[in-house]
Each structure stands twice: as structure tokens, then as C-alpha cells.
Amino acid sequence: MFQYTKHRKVSLIYSILLLCFILVSISPQVYATENETNISVYPTPKNMDVKKGLRFPLTPKVGVVVPNEYDPTVLKELEQVLKSFNVKKIQKFTPHDKVTTPVTIYLSSNLKAPYIVTQLNTLDIEPQSYPAEGYLLASGKGNDGKKKIIIAGEDWDGTYYGVKTLKQIIEQNSGRASVPELVVEDYPEMEYRGVIEGFYGTPWSHEERVDQLKFYGDNKMNTYVYAPKDDPYHRDAWREPYPTGKLNELAELVDIAKKNHIDFVFTISPGLDICYSDNQDFNLLFEKAQALYDVGVRDFAILFDDIFMEMSCKMDEKMFGDEPSPTAAAQAFLLNKFQDKFIEKNEGTNRLITVPTEYYQEGTSPYREQFADLVDSSVLVYWTGIGITTDTITNEDAQRISDIFKHDLLIWDNYPVNDFSEYRIFLGPLTGRDAGLTEHGVHGLTANPMEHAEASKIPLFTIADYTWNPKDYTSKDSWDASINDFTGSYTEEVTTFAENVLSSPLNQSESRTIKPIIDKFWEGFNGRNDFQEIASNLYNEFFILENSADTLEEDFTNREFIKEMNPWIDKMRHYGIIGKLAVQMVRANYNGDTELAEKYKNLLEYELEHDTTDVVYREDQIASRQLDGINKERGWAEFVMYTPEYGESTQTNQWGFEIKVIDGEVTDVGGNNSTIPSDGYVLSLHSGGDGDWLANNSIVGASSSISENIVTLEIEKGEYDIPNEAKYGFNVFEPFINQALKVVD
């Protein structure tokens, strides 16, 4: 009988200890074989036992045994894996056929199927039972003399994940691919694992979503929640049916999700203006959901986040006005009606999901108490942790919130989303989430990504790893594996780029390679004997920044990533250039050569003034929009103009986008609470509704005109060299440059 083995760690003296035949512990992520071949599997499996040094070749002809009824997506995935390792012929057998192939793979969704039990017995393995989506993968030469791979899941999802693991363990050498002899027992800790596209900003394109779904399947995520804030049919125009073209796109996504063993969750956010008790509004909600059900959606969510608590109609005031929390009572009424009339009446639908309006607060309230008491107990409740974006989600927090809501919880993790800080990107690993959340009412976690779909894959890889196996999750190891998976042959350059955008609301640590050298540089300047050596090291690190930017821009094969990250790669190059100049400037000052220091200072200041990035418009772009007011407080989704008569600044909150205009030309873009120019005006758009309109239609150098309260923005086709607002090496590079300049002042 196969028993679970303890995870082991590789030490620096592992090879020596092997020679001495001493058993050493190895990490859950890496298992070394006698021929020094490392087997890396992500997400980290629960248990993996490798027979050291034992492998067998993957022959050009491979047999596959499948039951009469099987999931065709699993067999197709296996066939693609085998072909990618140069298997030329795949022969399919039933469990009752005589197998004649030199290597045979046995697939099943039943670990107790007789033909699976028989094959496991030849490897001296007794089948176990696992939770849903679990699987057993065993490979080796049986006592019947035959080479075999057995992939048996608790269900076809588990078998599919076993095939994904097989792809990672096969090694392609200069000749034929080979398979290690091993046993993997694996299953996910969290029931719901995936992504919620719930950010403010430009929604992902259809092509990006298709690519994301394949990425989720590769990393054993099982949930994609469609909730883009700026899809009007999801939120502002929720009553309107999707146009045929858009509905067809969603249908395609549902189909692709199924092929990748992903549950596509369709969400509706009606809370801005719904009349909760109105049958007409409910019927529109029902019809919207039914249209999605008819194209294959089986998972639904009704979201009430980021809305006001007030009732939108007299009917609701009359029906719920006397409740301790009218809003909670109204929302519960709608959810329960939808549960009864839609979820329970449509075959195959899964649990309804919701987001309460109080989704991030710490304690209880009349709203939460009534929401907990009234909402159907089967409904899953989203929660972001304590705070909208939080650095930690602890077992204690989860238990407290679970006790308050009295419902099973899903975590809406607002990482790596950057819609609140658009000039920063967050590429670091997931940190600060306790390993035992599932023991405290949490049933899953979906991450809210950045609008930069390709770049989001780097942190999302680590989130897939965490949600599958939180107890064995190590953020640094997972991040390193993510970079390796993402980069191909450009690991060094992408690592250099990404480690300078590690900091986030989760973790303030930044620039893990260059920051310690900068600290030593100033220590040396202030009296250490090895200053010149440290200065040379720091100069070299800035050279690496510049060179890595050039290499990525010119050669990196993931062009979508380069397109998304262009401003940050330009900023990386910029800091490489001015960092070298700053080191030379300070070094000249240290050596007493003030003339040379001044020369470097002038060059540095020139580069600072030319910190730009290129944006190309291939055709003229003209957009018009009516103002919602002049010199007034900006409300939800409102477009407001501010002139000097209003005051020194617009006094707006962080949820929006503003541009400055002088003499009909846009001079500055981005931010909120902007200073109002004395000879111009500010245009300000709240992020609600079509909140990206202003950002998408303005650029420094564009023209702006206003006639009869209608603003027209025009961008002529061409290449624009605009100020680069991207933040890179946050709180590391800019302070270094400023301190260097002070040295020569």
C-alpha cells in the first residue's frame, strides 16, 4: 500500500549526502533524482514520491486506455501533450482490449475501476479516495514487465489535472522524451480557484479572455468570474439585453471555459438603480440571466458592491422602509426570489454568488445582521478581507466574518488589481494569506487582476499555486517558478524587470537586488573603505537595467507583454541611464572632481527632462461628450469642468481621471484633485459608468474645445512622445536620484 511521504528540502550539500546514502529532506516544489534531474510541478502537489534515477523512454507509439464513456477534453489534452513530446502514434484501447503498446497510459475518473486497480497493483499501489478534483498519477515498470502511466481522478476534472501534471514531469532531452517513475497524490484545498475580472478600467478584449482561460486551465484554476465594471450591459445598462455579437462572444468564452475545465460565472450588478421589489425589473434580470443560461452558463452572481444604500423607488421604500436595514432586506428579497425562480428552476445551475454592499468592513452592522438572517443559506458571499485592498487575510478575520454573515465565504482578493493606482503595476507573488482559511468558512478565492492581461499572469500563477495547496505555498519559490514559466529563454531580463515592480499594498519590499547595493553605496560614500568597489557594482546594476530594457523591447517573444508594459520598460531604461549618471556624478564628487561631477549632473538633468514614452495613433481620433456641470462637486459617473473661479484645485476623490487644458491643448493627464491652471481649465470624469472615456481619448498634445457644454477631444494620427508617468522601482530609484543630486548642490 502506498503511503503518504513527508515533503523534503534540498540542502546545499545534497549531492554529497547522496554519495553517503544519507536521506535528506527536499522541498515540496523540487524533487531531485539521482541523475540530478529536477522535477518541478505547479501548483505544488500534495504528495509526490519519485523513485530516484528511474526513468523510462516515451516511445514513438503510445497506447491510451479509456472507458467507454469519457470526457473528450481530457483525451484531447493528453493527445496534445504526447504529440508535443514527439509521440507519433497514439493507439486507443478499451479496458477489455488486449494492450500491445510499449508504453501505455490508463485514464479514468474512477480510482476503483477494475482495470485501474489491476494496473495499480502491478506497481504495488493501493487506490485511495480523494476530495473532488483529486487525482492519482503513477508511472513505472510494473511487476508484469510493462511500462505504464496511470492517471485516475475522483472525477474527470481530477483526471484532467493529472494530465496537466504529466506534461510537467516529462523531460525532453536531446533524444527521446522520458518519464520518471513516481507517484503523485494530489487534490485542491480550495473549492473555487480563479480570477474575477472585476476591475475599473479598460476591460480585457475577447482575445485576451480566451488566452486567460487557457492559462487558468494550465494552472488548475477552475473559476472565471465575468464582472468587468466598464461593460455597460453588466452594470449601468444591466436591463438591456446583450447585442447578438456580444452574446456570441460570451457563448464562445463559455465553450472555451468548459474545454479548459473552468466554470464561467456570469455576474449582473443592478444595484445602481434597480427597484428591488418591482416585478418588471426582476423579469428583466431574469431574462438577462436566461439568455446566458441558454448559451451554456451554469454559474451566476448578483453583485451589490460600490453602490449607495438608498432605495431607488417608492415601492422599495414602502416595502422595506421599516426594516432595520432597508437595503439588506431589499437585496435579500431579490436574491431569494432569483434563487427560487431561476437557480432552482434551471437544471444544472450551481450555487448563486453575491457581493454584499458592506463587503470589506471589519465588524457587524444592522445591514450585515439582516443580510445574514434573510439571504438563502445556500448563497455564497464574497468578501475582500478587512479593507478593500488588504495586506493580510488571517484565519481569525475569516472566522469572524464567517460568523457575522453566517454563509459560506468566497474571497474577492483585490490583488494584483491596480485600478486605484494606474501608474503602478504589481508583479509580485501573493503574500499575507493564511494557510488555513478553508477551516474558517472560506470556500475559495478569486483574484481581481490588472487590466494588463499578460502581465497579470505572473502574480496569477502564484495565486493558482496558493489556492491549490496553501499549506505548502512559498511565495518566493512560487514567484521564481512563475517567472521561469512565463519567460522562456529571457528569464534574467524579465526577472530584472519584474523584481523592480514587486511592491504593492500586500508587501512594501521592492527592488530586491539593487536596493541593498544602493544602501551600501550611501554607507560607502559616508565613510566605508570599499566605496569605489560598491560604486562599480551599482553602476553595473544600472547598466543591467538599461540593457535588459533594450533586450526585452527588441527580442522578447511575448509581444503582448511588451506592448502592455511599454511605459514601464521605457522607465526601466530611463532609470538605467540616469542611475549610471548619478553613480558617476557622486563618484566624481567623492574623488574631489567637482568639474566632472557638474558635467554628469547636467547630463542627468537633461535625461530627467526627457523622461518620455512613445504612443502611436494610426488614425485621427475624435470624441465628444456632454458636461454634467461646471465648477460643481463631481458625482458618480459625472463629467465636470473646473475653472480658476472654483479654487486652487478640483478637490476630487481618487475615483476618477482628470486632464489639464491650456490654450486649447492638453498639457497634463491623469490623477485627481488637480491644481487648476490660472490660464486654463481641468476636465474631470468620475470612474463610474464609462469611467475610461477621458483617459482613452486624451493625451498630452491633444486638442480640446467646448461648445454648448459639449467637450470635443481630438488626437491627430502620429507618434506622440509624452511624459512617462509610469512608476518603477517605487520608493527606490526616485529617492536615490534625488539624494544623488543633493550631493552636488
**pLDDT (0 to 100) of residue 692:** 85
Reply yes or no on whether the pLDDT at 540 is more than 60: yes
**Alpha helices for 88-184 (secondary structure H):** 114-122, 156-169
Distance in angstroms (rounded) separating the CA atoms of residues 455 and 458: 6
Query: What is the structure's pLDDT at 91?
Result: 98
Amino acid 638: pLDDT: 95
pLDDT score at 69: 96
Q: Which 3 state secondary structure label does DSSP give 474?
A: coil
Average pLDDT, stretch 398-413? 98
CA distance 372 to 739: 54
- 138: three-class secondary structure by DSSP: strand
Query: Using N-to-C axis directions, what is the helix angle for 395-405 and 366-374, rounded to 10°?
Result: 70
Cβ pair 721, 563 in contact under 8 A: no
- What grid cell was written down for 609? 527632462
Q: Give the pLDDT confidence score for residue 223 in this predicted structure.
A: 99
Proportion of the chain above pLDDT 70, given as a percent: 95
pLDDT in tens, 157-195: 999 999 999 999 999 887 789 999 999 999 999 999 999
Mean pLDDT of 302-329: 95
Tell me what pLDDT residue 202 has: 86
686 within 8 A of 699, measured Cβ to Cβ: no
Average pLDDT across the chain, whole number: 93
Query: What class has domain 192-473?
Result: alpha beta
Region 441-454: what's the mean pLDDT?
98
pLDDT digits (tens, 9 = 90+) for 448-468: 999 999 999 999 999 999 999
Note whether 650 and 676 are within 8 A (CB): yes
Each residue of 191-214: pLDDT tens digit? 999 999 999 888 999 999 999 999
Structure confidence by residue, pLDDT tens digits, 222-264: 999 999 988 889 999 999 999 999 999 999 999 999 999 999 9
| pLDDT at residue 528, rounded to an integer | 74
For position 345, what pLDDT does the model report? 97
pLDDT band at 432 (very low <50, low <70, confident <90, very high): very high
Distance CA 657, CA 689 (A): 13
pLDDT at 567 over 60: yes
Residues with Cβ < 8 Å from 262, sequence gap 6 or more? 194, 213, 216, 217, 221, 222, 223, 224
Mean pLDDT of 535-544: 98
Type of residue at 459: P
CATH code of the region 514-611+726-744:
1.20.58.460
Q: Report how far residue 157's alpha carbon sits from residue 132's, in angstroms, rounded to the nearest whole number.
A: 8
Q: Region 373-396: what's the mean pLDDT? A: 98
* pLDDT over 90 (residue 152): yes
- Asked whether the beta carbons of 715 and 700 are under 8 A apart, the reply is no
ω into 188 cis (within 30 of 0): no
Please give the pLDDT value at position 21: 31
Rg (CA), the chain: 29
pLDDT of 221 above 50? yes
CATH value of 42-186 in 3.30.390.50, 3.30.200.20, 3.30.70.1450, 3.30.379.10:
3.30.379.10
The arithmetic mean of pLDDT across residues 273-295, rounded, is: 98
* Identified catalytic residue from 186, 263, 281, 306: 306
CB count in 10 Å sphere of residue 231: 18
pTM of the predicted structure, to 2 decimals: 0.88
Question: In this predicted structure, what is the pLDDT of residue 173?
Answer: 82
Q: What is the pLDDT of residue 20?
A: 35
What is the structure's pLDDT at 175? 76
How many whole angstroms separate alpha carbon 135 and alpha carbon 144? 23
Clarify whether 306 is annotated catalytic. Answer: yes
> What does the pLDDT read at residue 4?
27
| CA dihedral over 160, 161, 162, 163, signed as positive or negative | positive
| Three-class DSSP category at 377 | coil
Judged against a pLDDT cut of 90, whether residue 373 lies above it is answered with: yes
Instruction: Return the higher-pLDDT residue of 23 and 219.
Output: 219
State the average pLDDT over residues 381-388: 97
Q: Can you give the pLDDT at residue 272?
A: 93
Q: How does residue 113 score in pLDDT terms, banded at 50, 70 and 90?
A: very high
Q: 185 φ, ψ to 5°? A: -115, 120
Given a cut of 80, whether residue 11 has pLDDT beyond it is: no
Q: Please give the pLDDT value at position 229.
A: 86
In DSSP terms, which residues pair with 31 in a beta bridge?
A: 39
Centre a 10 Å sphere on the Cβ of residue 241 and count the other Cβ atoms it contains. Answer: 13
Q: Is 201 exposed, middle or buried (0-12, 13-18, 19+ CB in 10 A)?
A: buried
Q: Which residue has the higher pLDDT, 410 or 312?
A: 410
**C-alpha–C-alpha distance, residues 185 and 169, integer Å:** 14
Predicted local distance difference test score (pLDDT) of residue 87 = 96
Comparing 688 with 441, the larger pLDDT belongs to 441
Note if the bond before 114 is cis, omega within 30 degrees: no
Decide if pLDDT at 22 tops 70.
no
- Tell me the pLDDT tens digit for each residue of 26-42: 233 333 333 345 799 99
- Res 8: pLDDT: 28
Report the pLDDT value the prediction gives residue 553, as an integer from 0 to 100: 96
68 burial class (0-12, 13-18, 19+ CB within 10 angstroms)?
Answer: exposed
Per-domain residue ranges for the chain? 42-186, 192-473, 514-611+726-744, 617-723
**pLDDT tens readout for residues 719-742:** 888 889 999 999 999 999 999 999
Measure Cα distances from 326 to 277, 282, 322 in Å. 12, 18, 7
pLDDT band, residue 14 (cuts 50/70/90): very low
